[in-house]
Chain A
Amino acid sequence: AQSVTQPDIHITVSEGASLELRCNYSYGATPYLFWYVQSPGQGLQLLLKYFSGDTLVQGIKGFEAEFKRSQSSFNLRKPSVHWSDAAEYFCAALMEYGNKLVFGAGTILRVKS
């Protein structure tokens, strides 16, 4: 079955440190890939997306993600984390001719000062 896996439930980083959140997908072809962020009590906001082309995509708030076909991965990175980045991050994939967005379980990011 098609699925999206985020192996880390919680991650804690120090403010100013670099960040990498992992995402793997299971699908026969290359899906469309997304990263969303959810602040407490809020809806989801799109950080970035990958459809095709350049495998390194830039998003909002200084985030970037790299698509690696050989590893079926789409990891999210930020070079220097700010306290305001504390939130839950979701990786998602569109499979099966679109229409059905599949989410990972999410990674909760804590930032310590």
Chain B
Amino acid sequence: NAGVTQTPKFQVLKTGQSMTLQCAQDMNHEYMSWYRQDPGMGLRLIHYSVGAGITDQGEVPNGYNVSRSTTEDFPLRLLSAAPSQTSVYFCASSRDGYNEQFFGPGTRLTVL
């Protein structure tokens, strides 16, 4: 089992560019989520999904889109990157929304 994988590990964007952060899990988990981590603020939930075709907003959803077409994949899209989106992004998955979440290694994103 690879667990939760994320690509890329590092990314630098210019303001206004778009990109997709990839997340995949091989544990057949129904629940997947995206967080951003900023110094002194812990992790904040961006979007989550309770199964294929079902997504919902978390605490800080503005500027981000998600979709869930398969159980395994949960990509995060930045349509027009802004410097405020400079952060470390973590994807996580869980059997359901009540259990332990398994985290990926993270993507460090810098927006210039």
**Chain A interface residues (CB < 8 Å from chain B):** 4, 6, 9, 32, 34, 36, 42-46, 49, 90, 92, 94, 97-106
Interface size on B, residues (CB 8 A): 26
When the two chains form their complex, are residues B100 and A99 in contact, meaning their CB atoms are under 8 A apart? no
Known contacts A44-B90, A46-B100; is A101 also within 8 Å of B45 by CB? yes
5 pairs of A and B residues whose beta carbons are closest in the complex: A99-B97, A98-B97, A103-B42, A43-B103, A98-B98
Complex interface: chain A residues within 8 A of B90 (CB): 43-44
Question: Could you tell me which B residues sit within 8 Å of A by CB distance?
Answer: 4, 31, 33, 35, 40-45, 48, 50, 56, 58-59, 90, 92, 96-98, 100-101, 103-106
Q: Which residue of B lies closest to A9 (CB)?
A: B40
Is B103 a contact partner of A103 (Cβ separation < 8 A)?
Answer: no
**Which residue of B is nearest A48, CB measured?**
B100
Whether the Cβ atoms of B31 and A99 lie closer than 8 Å is: yes
Q: A32-B98, A105-B42 are in contact. Are A99 and B50 (CB under 8 A)?
A: yes
SS class of chain A's interface: helix, strand, loop or mixed?
strand
Minimum CB–CB distance from B95 to chain A (whole Å) comes to 11
Nearest residue (CB) in A for B43 is: A103
Interface residue from A34, A36, A98, A100 paired with B58 (Cβ < 8 Å): A100
